[in-house]
Structure 1
Amino acid sequence: MAIWGKKKDKEKDPETREDRKKVGLIRGLWQKFRGIDWKNPVNRWKLLFVSLVGCIVVFGGGYGVLSLTNSPSFCASCHEMAPEYSTYTASAHNNITCVQCHIKPGFINMVTHKMKSMKEVYYHVTGVPEQIVQTEEEAISNENCLQCHSKNRLVTASGDLKVNHKGHIEEGVPCITCHAGVVHAKIVTRGINTEEVRGHWTKENAEKLMEKKYLAPNMGTCIDCHDKVNNGEKPWKDVAYNVPPNPEEMEKKLEEKAKEASGEAATEATSEGETTEAEALAAHDQKTQDIILQAIGKQQKDVKISMACETCHKKIKVPKSHKVEGWNGNHGGTAIQELDKCVNCHQDSKWIREIPKEDIISLLKMKEQETKTAKYTPNITVVKDQSRVNKFCSACHGNRPPGHDKSNNWLTSHSDMARSPEDKANCFVCHDRDKPKPGSTEVKAPTDVYCQYCHRTGFKDDEKN
């Protein structure tokens, strides 16, 4: 403690060298501190100076640590964050920091979040998770969004959609219910941020993979929520409705169910599961068609929120050509010429909230191909394939055509309708030649009737095509 300028008188200090050895470090410092002459103003000024330097070191160092960990570059330092960082840099929000969205405003929230984030350091050291997911407790709050965005907006930036943002917020709907993909393009739900594909994530690839349908809320998001409201539900009250499901937790649940089932019980459970899945798919198709009829005004229902296109859209409406008499039976020619425009609305994947799992390698190859063939070329084969795959088309094309019912002898006389390869191509829009194989990746025909069901002996050489 020589800094304080007080020396001990050896004669007055009976403490021996051996006694000093016995005193601990902390106790020794405390004794010297107490021995300082605080009446001396110089010593008081020295204490003030040391305290000031200590505060600068502690608080300055703490601020530096916070600033460092708050920067997007710090997030990018861990390789497991490559998909999230790449999509962030390619998004419209790349001019703000990660914490402005992911941490609620306020210093206490900041410190609390940093303490909770220590588990992420633990995971990074002990073993990186297969997927980085957002938990329910980490769901982004409306407070974060309203720091920059006004809740008084009544239309989207494009000017097409009429959305009363203030009404939604006052009802308690979180912003992320609709805008979950605005920065990261729903990569968790799509399953393209897993460990084995993280090396493919660059800013260039992120720009290819961040399609508008994943950034903006798809129509299925609005339809699903509005339909639930019409049925008396408020789905956004469940936080799990607003964040992507954790794949690890889902796998655990599936494993637990698998362990519970054994022997005959497992077989019965599997059969029941298949039946339930088929019934659920049929119910979904029926529900989609029901909503379509409401949207185009052919089915009116007394509901809280109208499903008609004009309810939400200002510009996109039912085309005039669709209202012409006989449109249902004569739209095939238009579909061949303008299929790319048709699927803007008539594609079942755009009418459902759920997003299927994707393969990043296939997506990148597809993007390269789309760049080469960006313009749609009328092609009857492509249209027929779409009529089989697309539920909007197969819902009608899967029904028995009127021509099949004109004669009771159809089964024995229909060969005249399938003479040429072109005629057979028309048949194969709805029918398969052979019985579909279980687990096959090929798209199954909309009808269960297939040629080999009756023609079990096969076809003549001139009939195979």
Structure 2
Amino acid sequence: MAIWGKKKNRETDPESREKRKKTGPIRKLRQKFRAIDWKNPVNRWKLLFVSLVGCIVIFGGGYGVLSFTNSPSFCSSCHEMQPEYTSYTASAHNQISCVQCHIKPGTVNMLTHKMKSLKEVYYHVTGVPTQIVQTEEEAVSSQNCLQCHSKNRLVTASGDLKVNHKGHIEEGIPCITCHSGVVHAKMASRGINTEDVRGDWTQASAEKLMEEKYLRPNMGTCINCHDQVNNGVKPWKEASYNVPLNPEEVEKKLEENKNASSGEATTATATTETVKTETASNETEAATLTEHDQKTQDIILQAIGKQQKDVKLSMACETCHKKVKVPKSHKVEGWNGNHGKTAIQQVDKCVNCHQDSKWVREIPKEDIISLLKMKETKTKYEPNLNVVKEQARINKFCSACHSDRPSGHSESNQWLTGHAKKALTAEQKSECFVCHDNQKPVAGSTTPKAATDVYCQYCHRTGFKSAVNN
């Protein structure tokens, strides 16, 4: 006998069976549903009506939610998207919704994207990233662009460039490889959409931050891509080539490399290794810079027709530019050797075309505060030899040719003994100092390096009879 009394048999006890028969609301509803006389036409019409209302509520509500989350106003509701939304409203694409660019066409793609976007809600609640950067998976697809734009365009809207859009698309080159800044002005690459400056993006400031040079395709991208194709590489095959670098990932990799290089060395060994690493890093950086300069000069020589190579894609300016107009002054005999005087008078016009900084694909980091404070000032250029001298040394268009020995210098031994007649006047000396320094260059000097390491006082150590312009 149990302590608390005799145990009841649940199978035979009528009270236990009755308790088990007691049902919840779901079971009761099911029982009522089964008790309905479905042979009665009225009951069948009631079921149809209820089902119809239910479908309208479910699908209508779902469509309403999708429509609301697809609207630009929903995107702007998150403060971290203020730079992206503000630049969008100031762009030429402000009449279309965000999803028309950022979600591939099709219902399945729409629903899939909504599910993936839940992580953005998670970030919004737990911690917004320092900078919003488009990932490889979320890169704008060419399918989105082709919803509005035709691929059968051979000339750009400006009428200047000849671009076979169809050929590029059929080759698999994404539209954003060239047109990555058309809406947001490459703000991520410029570093002006970080957390600390999001409040500076207003309708008034957007016009100043949305510079034309960042909205239009970057010529450096064209040159970089064409050069790689000529070397047997198709860079657009790598998704990372088409989107800006994620600063957090870059910082993470640098930190990992730093930790890996540190190892478990002792303090003394670690110090020695650090010095060696820094030295090797400086040497590598210098070698990379030299290689980059040489490569830039090679491309420039191709562009101006000074260097011909058997290449797949021509790098000459007229290959892509429809309106390349060579100034009349360039067509005179001996222009290559006598353009110095013209450069002094109007070097500001020269650099409009002959500016190698326009040929670089990488976008430099910018300070948004400085950009907003910057005032547009138009300064009139006054002939200045020092300005021309500096351009001749730092501008790859100039140094590409100035680094070679001029034809007028003849043989070294003859020129060495006879060049004094070419440098009698101050004006003649000034022309010499475009490529040569008077005194030995000082290491670490801010003065741009001369095209040649031959300087006057290397031989004229006792000085000159007359004053020398430096």
Report the TM-score, using the length of structure 2 for normalisation.
0.81
| 1:154-206 deviation per Cα after TM superposition (whole angstroms, max 9, x unaligned) | 11111111111111111111111111111111111111111111111112222
Q: Which residue of 1 aligns with 2:180?
A: 180
Q: Which residue of 2 aligns with 1:99?
A: 99
Q: Which moved more, 1:173-182 or 1:390-399?
A: 390-399
In structure 1, stretches of 5+ residues that fail to align are: 1-14, 455-461
Q: Which residue of 1 aligns with 2:117?
A: 117
Q: Which residue of 2 aligns with 1:335?
A: 343
Quick one: which amino acid aligns to residue 269 of structure 1?
T
Q: Which moved more, 1:87-96 or 1:329-338?
A: 329-338
| 1:201-249 deviation per Cα after TM superposition (whole angstroms, max 9, x unaligned) | 1122222122222112121111111111111111111111111111111
Quick one: which amino acid aligns to residue 173 of structure 1?
I
Q: Which residue of 2 aligns with 1:131?
A: 131
Aligned-residue offset at 1:291: 1.1
8 Å CA contact retained: 2:68, 2:74? yes
Spell out the pairing of 1:178-217 with structure 2 (5 A cutoff).
Answer: 178-217=178-217
TM-align CA RMSD: 3.7
In 2, Cα distance between equivalents of 1:71 and 1:148: 19
The change in CA–CA distance for 1:399 and 1:291 in structure 2 (over 3 A counts) is: closer
In structure 2, stretches of 5+ residues that fail to align are: 1-14, 263-269, 459-466
SS in 1 for 2:123: helix
Q: Which residue of 1 aligns with 2:7?
A: none
Q: Which residue of 1 aligns with 2:318?
A: 310
The change in CA–CA distance for 1:236 and 1:20 in structure 2 (over 3 A counts) is: same
Residue 378 (structure 1) aligned with residue 386 (structure 2): no
In 1, Cα distance between equivalents of 2:350 and 2:123: 47
Paired-residue identity, % = 70
In 1, Cα distance between equivalents of 2:276 and 2:283: 11
8 Å CA contact retained: 1:88, 1:94? yes
Spell out the pairing of 1:315-464 with structure 2 (5 A cutoff).
Answer: 315-366=323-374, 368=375, 370=376, 372-373=377-378, 376-380=380-384, 382-394=387-399, 435=442, 445-446=449-450
| 1:397-451 deviation per Cα after TM superposition (whole angstroms, max 9, x unaligned) | 678996999669x9xx9xx99999x97x9689968998565xx9x6754579799
Quick one: which amino acid aligns to residue 358 of structure 1?
E
Q: Which moved more, 1:150-159 or 1:24-33?
A: 24-33
In 2, Cα distance between equivalents of 1:119 and 1:383: 54
8 Å CA contact retained: 2:86, 2:201? yes
Q: Which moved more, 1:387-396 or 1:184-193?
A: 387-396
Q: Which residue of 1 aligns with 2:85?
A: 85
| 1:89-135 deviation per Cα after TM superposition (whole angstroms, max 9, x unaligned) | 11111111110011000011000000000000110111110111111
In 2, Cα distance between equivalents of 1:296 and 1:275: 32
In 2, Cα distance between equivalents of 1:59 and 1:192: 41
Q: Which residue of 1 aligns with 2:295?
A: 287
8 Å CA contact retained: 1:294, 1:300? yes
Quick one: which amino acid aligns to residue 308 of structure 2?
Q
In 2, Cα distance between equivalents of 1:303 and 1:426: 37
The change in CA–CA distance for 1:448 and 1:77 in structure 2 (over 3 A counts) is: farther
Quick one: which amino acid aligns to residue 282 of structure 2?
E
Residue 253 (structure 1) aligned with residue 258 (structure 2): no
Aligned-residue offset at 1:387: 4.1
Quick one: which amino acid aligns to residue 310 of structure 2?
D
In 1, Cα distance between equivalents of 2:145 and 2:447: 42
**Count of matched residue pairs:** 431
SS in 2 for 1:138: coil
Q: Which residue of 1 aligns with 2:140?
A: 140
Quick one: which amino acid aligns to residue 62 of structure 1?
G
In 2, Cα distance between equivalents of 1:99 and 1:146: 14
Spell out the pairing of 1:235-250 with structure 2 (5 A cutoff).
Answer: 235-250=235-250
The higher radius of gyration belongs to: 2
Aligned-residue offset at 1:43: 2.2
Spell out the pairing of 1:23-172 with structure 2 (5 A cutoff).
Answer: 23-172=23-172
Q: Which moved more, 1:333-342 or 1:343-352?
A: 333-342
The change in CA–CA distance for 1:149 and 1:388 in structure 2 (over 3 A counts) is: same
In 2, Cα distance between equivalents of 1:290 and 1:320: 26
| 1:281-333 deviation per Cα after TM superposition (whole angstroms, max 9, x unaligned) | 11111111111111111111111111111111111244343343443443344
In 1, Cα distance between equivalents of 2:303 and 2:249: 37
SS in 2 for 1:137: coil
Residue 265 (structure 1) aligned with residue 269 (structure 2): no
In 2, Cα distance between equivalents of 1:129 and 1:319: 50
In 1, Cα distance between equivalents of 2:125 and 2:436: 55
